[in-house]
With several copies, the nearest count.
Chain A
Amino acid sequence: MAETEPSMIDVGARLAAEALIVDVDGFEGPLDVLLMLSRTQKVDLRQISVLALAEQYLSFIDKARDLRIELAADYLVMAAWLAFLKSRLLLPPDPEEEGPSGEELAAHLAFQLERLQAMREAAAQLMARDQLGRDFFARGITEDVTRVRRVSYTATLLDLMQGYARLRTKDDFRPFVMDRDAVFTMEEALARMRPLLGFAGGWTDILSYLPEGFTTDPARRRSATASTFAASLELVKEGHAELRQGDTFAPIQIRRKEGRDG
């Protein structure tokens, strides 16, 4: 297994330990130090002697202390834990003792080292891949997708008729509603809606049936809206129309019910 001379290991370990001491900042934590030390054993990580590794680490910490190098708490915690592990591994197992055995703990440490080593190698393989912007390239001249907004205008026949009627009555015709107060009765709404319903075709917002002169003034608009709504319900009750509303507060739409003689 260890084909090198014992003295060689010592030399190697010493050199490694010295390198550590000079450059302790270069390590990424105690696990990194352990991984470094484990290389001196020159064996597969799966066959590593955790006991020997623990001893190497503890001597590394001792040396660092001798040289009065300040070590981060992590390193000392690891040292304490390895000292504990070492005692577990050396002493016969106490049947009273709870918790994992020394072998289990050592196996886990070996696993951690192997896993870290594997991640290092994977990282190196990843970084060795061809990379975008270095080895292969994306399109230099890109064409953005331009968003074209197209507005489509619509109108209904009823809009057209109301528009035309508005023009024809502008000068000399005052809508009869203008002479009354701000009340538009349900009877008036019914009388207005009955003939118009046939022209609207499909679903139409009931608000489009509000009479001329009742759409701007809030009081008039309220009255007309209420009576138009009541009239719509009446028409539905009579079986002449259908109502629908897509959502709460969405426009209420009406259309003539097909197949019924108005």
Chain B
Amino acid sequence: MAETTTEPGEESLFDAPPMGEQERMVEAILFASAEPVSVRDLAGRMPHGADPAEALVHLRKRYEGRGVQVVKVGDGWAIRTAADLGFLMQKETVETRKLSRAAIETLAIIAYHQPVTRAEIEEIRGVSVSRGTIDQLLDMEWIRFGRRKMTPGRPVTFVVTEGFLDHFGLESARDLPGLKELRAAGLLDNRPPPGLGAASDEDEDDDQDDMFEDG
């Protein structure tokens, strides 16, 4: 079928297959999976010595402008149909649960401010966040618990998931629309109300570091 296939017998134990062959392998694995596959998982499934990261560069280029695209999602890679062809897919369209305005806002706040505590979300929205809203986002696997804050009470934080990035076609949380502008405008600062003291000044840097480490 494929002329480019090397005979398995010709490969020595430590020679990786030729790059063209590695590209085919990455292609096959990504096509077979609906979920993003990490470079690490790719390497684990490919023969010893393979370099999936390089193969991905080639593969991504190969699919430029085609009906399907090789996209990066967080730490993983996936193949997705080109967005301009969505109109052909009425049959495949999944009706997502309609999110309430509160849920959408809460999701955006978590995405832009992560890792963020419930109290911080409430401070930003000026209203308490219902358990149901958080549960719904957790159920959809768009958010998950992050690590606890190093503030009194060690509250849990929320961060967005790879599923969230996948759903909105984002490579990482850094690619959220308008993120840079919001940061430059100081609107992502954790600014406590005056009179409450600057309890979380030092946290602020951590917050941002977290965001980029996790992203």
Q: How far is the CA of A28 from the CA of B177 in the complex (A)?
A: 24
Instruction: Check: A30 CB closer than 8 A to any chain B CB.
Output: yes
Number of interface residues of B (CB under 8 A): 65
Tell me if A29 and B107 are in contact (CB < 8 A): no
Instruction: Check: A114 CB closer than 8 A to any chain B CB.
Output: yes
* CB interface residues, A 37-56, toward B, < 8 Å: none
Chain A contacts for B166, CB-based, 8 A: 132
8 Å CB contact of B187 from A115, A135, A172: A115
Tell me if B89 and A149 are in contact (CB < 8 A): no
Q: A153-B140, A167-B109 are known contacts. Are A172 and B182 too (CB-CB below 8 A)? A: no
* CB interface residues, B 10-28, toward A, < 8 Å: 28
Q: How far is the CA of A133 from the CA of B81 in the complex (A)?
A: 10
Tell me if A138 and B34 are in contact (CB < 8 A): yes
Q: A123-B108, A148-B92, A153-B97 are known contacts. Are A130 and B179 too (CB-CB below 8 A)? A: no
8 Å CB contact of B105 from A119, A133, A201: A119
* CB interface residues, A 127-174, toward B, < 8 Å: 127, 129-157, 159-173
Number of interface residues of A (CB under 8 A): 79
Q: Encode contact with A along B121-134: 1 for CB under 8 Å, 0 otherwise.
A: 00011110000000
Chain B contacts for A155, CB-based, 8 A: 98-99, 103-104, 107, 167
Determine which residue in A34, A168, A171, A176 has the highest number of CB atoms from chain B within 10 A of its CB, and name it. A168
Tell me if B81 and A31 are in contact (CB < 8 A): no
Residue positions of B touching A, CB distance < 8 A: 1, 28, 31-35, 45, 69, 78-83, 86, 89-99, 101-105, 107-109, 111-112, 124-127, 136, 140, 166-170, 176-179, 182, 184-189, 191, 193-196, 199
